Amino acid sequence: MAFVVTDNCIKCKFTDCVDVCPVDCFHVGPNFMVIDPDECIDCTLCEPECPANAIFAIDELPEGQEIFADLNAELSKTWPVLTEVQDAMPDADEWNGKKDKLQYLER
Ligand code: SF4
Ligand code: F3S
């Protein structure tokens, strides 16, 4: 199994998640974060840390978020690991909760 970062992280990227991951499996892009499914040990620690409630177990993905399982696997192959909390995106609080942000994903 693995945990998956989903739509609501886009344009928010609060990064609180990276602080708790014991195996450093978060990878960072321009405006989104992903989890490497081959490294995640399902410890569950990151899920409650995300202010955007964007992290789910892969078998508990909300309807319509299934595509993010593949995106996490794909993008974690090329994006660098992030282990220290950074500033959130500008306007993160305004974007938190907006729907269908996949169109804004920058690679
Ligand atoms: Fe890291 Fe645990 Fe979250 Fe997996 S479930 S990404 S191991 S903090
Ligand atoms: Fe994204 Fe939530 Fe982490 S917004 S960067 S998954 S804390």
pLDDT at 32: 98
pLDDT at 47: 98
Q: What percent of the chain is modeled with pLDDT above 70?
A: 100
Ligand 2 mean position to 37 CA, how many Å?
Answer: 16
> Which ligand 1 atom is nearest residue 55's CA?
3
Q: Which domains does the chain have, with CATH numbers?
A: 3-98 (3.30.70.20)
Residues lining ligand 1, CB < 6 A? 3, 20-21, 23, 25, 35, 40-46
- Closest ligand to C-alpha of residue 21 is 1
Residues 6+ apart with CB under 8 A from 38: 2
Q: Which uninterrupted H or E stretch holds 70?
A: helix 67-75
pLDDT at 69: 98
pLDDT at 51: 98
> Which ligand 2 atom is nearest residue 49's CA?
7
Q: What is the per-residue pLDDT across 8-46, written as a single tens digit (0 to 9) for each? A: 999 999 999 999 999 999 999 999 999 999 999 999 999
Q: What is the per-residue pLDDT across 27-37, written as a single tens digit (0 to 9) for each? A: 999 999 999 99
Name the 3-class secondary structure at 16.
helix
Ligand 1 mean position to 43 CA, how many Å?
Answer: 5
